[in-house]
Structure 1
Amino acid sequence: MDAYSGYNQIFMHPPDSEHTAFITDKGLYCYNVMPFGLKNAGATYQRLVNKIFAGYIGNIMEVYVDDMLVKSRTAEDHLQNLSIMFGILKDYRMRLNPKKCAFGVSSGKFLGFMISQRGIEANPEKIKAIIDMERPKTTKDIQSLTGRVAALTRFISKATDKCVPFFKALKGGKRDITWTAECDNAFQALKNYMSKAPLLSKPLPGEILYLYLSVSGTAVSSVLIRKPEKAELPIFYVSKALQSAELRYPPLEQLALALVVSARRLRPYFRAHGIKVLTNQPLRQVLQKPEISGRLIKWAIELGEFDIQFVPRPAEKGQAVADFISELTPATVQPASEAITETILPYQTGAKCLDTSTPVWCLHVDGSANQQGCGAGLVLTTPDGQKIEYALRFDFRTSNNEAEYEALLAGLRLAKSMNAKQIRIHSDSQLIVNQVTADFAAKDASMYAYLSTAHQLLRSFQAYEIKQIPRGENSHADALARLASAINDKVGRKVPVEILAQPSTVTSEACAVRYKDTWMSPIYLYLTNGTLPEDKAQARKLRYRSARYTVINDVLYKRGYTTPYLKCLTAEQGEYILREIHSGVCGDHSGSRSLAYKVFRQGYFWPTMHQDANTLVKRCDKCQRFGNVPYIPAEPFTPIVSPWPFAQWGLDLIGPMPQGKGQVKYAVVAVDYFTKWVEAEPLATITAAKIEDFVWTHICCRFGIPYAIITDNGRQFDSELFRHFCTRLKINLFFASPAHPQSNGQVEAINKIVKKLLKRQLDKAKGAWPEKLPEALWAIRTSYRTSTGETPFSMAFGSEAVDSYEPSGENQIPFRRTFGRELGGLLFIPHINDQ
């Protein structure tokens, strides 16, 4: 259905009508209804139809601007749905164009595509426009051709690759083009393809969809398919030309790019369905390995939103998909032998299923190839449970896959010699099992020869079954294979075997503590071995969460776009870290927000970090007794700009305080306006000479001559001695306005923080404040500041400080700097050589 002059059915807002004015020979006129040509006219109309048909779009209706479609499964439902739609149109006084409406049809044109029960077909008019097009002669003709192809790109397999010759002809920007033989062949091939354009299938709700990926030298492509009754029907073709830097991506990164492009283009399909990516490349490992580059981390997190699984690519069955797959394998993984081409398909043996009513033999095989030698091990179990162990050492060199095949062939020959009729084979080699079962193609000449020999031996059995098992379940055959490969046959020897009844060292018995599953367990199991919950919703949620994590040396880490890797902790471990940071040796009894940020900056993470920090602060006795109780609303800060670190300092005095060791009862405090770095020194007397000595020792000799110093109007600062000192060093001395401490508010705020920290640390021993002052300063320097988003230490030195509360030792939680070398610099810290 089509609205009758849809834009003109929306009234203009009266104050805006005059902005649509136009002049004629009869006067000045303006529109009372929305005309065509206004900048936001299309968006306004789309918002209108989205609002009036809200609740029905995507259910019984689809609406795009003035094109409306009512869909139903049965004729009875269709009448009811039309009644609902007409009622809405009547309520909003919208009119339809009867010449462009069709009712009760099983197929029709919508948004330029033919929609029917069969699926989605290309518009015949658009196909005819390409087929009847004459050979392009100018740049404009080629642009017209590529534009027509772009309108049908969802129907064209590898559309970008098919148009590469046309893109080459457009280079140079000249009006006249050079039409080469390559262009002519591509043009004819495109016409032939469009003459039999594929029918795109429509997926069923909740159906698992499959995605094939393709990488060529100039483009990445994909095809989304569904598999009803073992057929392969295309749903959508995607293609994108590689631009500049993308052309230099490694092949596996280009394959990952193809997946990301597909996810962005096919987002509605990816969000509504589970997606299985069919590829023989280690794409999952590439997106999850810890040392990946920034763009791969971004892609992995972006793809984590969807329910994506990576499975081996099977043999293709549909012709439309076969045309796509035949060009899939990148050049880096093409077969080495020219004699074996893509025409070799997996061997179909036609073996019968096992008959469990008759005796079945069981065979476990494994191969081993290393620097010491090559060998194979097999364990043949008879129907009555007797095991026959066999180890072979090869006098020739083999690869791991060839050793696996040799083990399989030796086991089959042994079973055949013992008149076995039915055999069940177990191997931990995914390649061997899938090649025998015809799921993988044998492209290498050596593998193809081994596969043919294996099938010849398998035909001698009435029935067989081959299955891949984890390496842990194949340990017996694996041990025999390793033994055979390690034996030096030039040395004759016998190895006696003694069975020890008990350990040589007797230790006291202890009950092992078994920790229950934590929040990390599902994520760790999924990342390490792909374990998922049975519930589909939970499985999809887990895949989405796991994209933000990675496993390094059996330890789970959280990763982000710009943050370093954060080690994941349990709630119990996190509570220990919070206590140490909050009230440990260098604890500053900071608030919950600052406390949680400190934990984050130290490289740790657990989901309830902020809630646990808030709970700890609320339960801290000293925080509750000495915490601030606001009586008046906070005033907005007045920022004072500092051009560079340590250029501008604020200076002030605090005291008198309880007299401490050395008769000290005052303190001079200085703060840098840029980094928020704090310096302080206890004083027995507050004189200009003491202030001069403090500035020279703690500021000038450590951080350089400052540009300016801001103080109050105390006589220690506004003295001839201190003024002469500043003039001699060319330091600009500024004074805050009298009775207006906000002029030097930074140092006033630091004074308040220093006093608060000393109160919380000293409790009743007030006279010990000079000894505790360095700890208070350290706490301030390593605390997060909201004004900068960093700690003063990191602002001053470019990295975080190593605090004493960071656990170390074999049985404790390692600090991120201590294992930065193991992560290969992923935590953005330099390598430090042990000395």
Structure 2
Amino acid sequence: MEAYCNAVRRLKDKFDGLELNHIARKYNEEVDELTKIASGRTTVPPNVFARDLAKPSVDFKDPAGASATTAKPSVVTAIEPLAEDPLAEESEAMETETEISSADEAGAMQIDEAPSSQDWRDQYLNRINRGVLPSDRAQARRIARRAKSFILIDDELYKRSPSGVLQHCIPILEGKELLRDIHTGVCGHHAAPRTLVGNAFRQGFYRPTAVADATEIMRTCEGCQFYARKTHLPTHALQTIPITWPFAVWGLDLFTGKKFLEFCDDFHIRVDWSAVAHPQTNGQIERANGMILQGLKPRIFNKLNKFGRRWLMELPSVIWSLRTTPSRATGFTLFFLVYGVEAVLPTDLEYGSPRLKAYQQHQNQQASEDSLDQVDEAQDVALLHLARYQQSQRRYQAQRVRHRDLNKGDLVLRLRQDSRGRHKLTPP
């Protein structure tokens, strides 16, 4: 405070009168609020004016106020008093006169207007050696905060790591060569990017973009590309098929022929090939085939007679099971969506289910007709269930999507399907 008092005494001759009043702490509420705003970096009220200073406005080394050019740079936030304060105009006039009359205070904000060089170390060296900050205010704050962890030893820039180890700051080209040597050098084993950076930092070197450089080195390494692990994450969002109503479109996976085409013509069935024109439908069919195969494999399992032609006899049972099992997507069975009632299964007849015991033939015809009248409402409910199910599937798929953009002319690696003549060191 003595330095600031000396600065005020130098300016008292420029005013007709000067009166200093001591205010007790319990009555100094407005100044306390301004101090809390400055220290907490909260939102400044509209009637308060704030200004950022890169250097103190007084010289702490010389209380008499000789020169302020040798003061160490620091970050000081000066907040002007409230406009409603009676002393606001007088304090504002003192501050304005100080900035105009004193040549020392004119250099309070020393800004580097020259364009920054390509070496990332220059901005920290300018801050440490000359107290110079970039012209951009946000960047100046960032450099001033980060420069506290850098020191100079024998004109070389070092950074204090969180573990206390001093890391030598190296330029861009030298840092890339260091990472490349750790990756493919004598003691390198083509490690992952974060492992490369960890090895470099433990050896006492530092670069702010080391992780990005290591990632680029690994992506451009030919050996890492050939022996990279297969990516099983989806490359695009899930494309669901909007259904207007159940059974509007049928998807079939079969071998076509003359008899099949004649059958379609007789029943006025239009055939659309989906292998290329609509791959979503083709994927839906493959999913249905997978469910059928999943039910067939356990039924035809036999240690003595593997597979054979038993699948032909077991196929109707598996299909009937799928038709009479409620679907998680719609909440209903396929049989119910078609006929409005559930099918009677062999287990119902064998064990005597309650609905079978309550069956009355003279009432069954009327109940069946009523069920057909109500099947439209059940199909609408199934559509709502299906839409909600597809939405949940899209959300789950979107969490795992990893986009890979390919342009015309890009080189890609094709997966080899033939395993003949391959060994452990053969690339996939």
**Common fold: TM-score over 0.5:** no
User: Structure 1 or 2: larger helix share?
Assistant: 2
> Which protein is bigger by CA-based radius of gyration?
2
- TM-score, normalised via structure 1 length: 0.17
- TM-score, normalised via structure 2 length: 0.32
User: Structure 1 or 2: larger strand share?
Assistant: 1
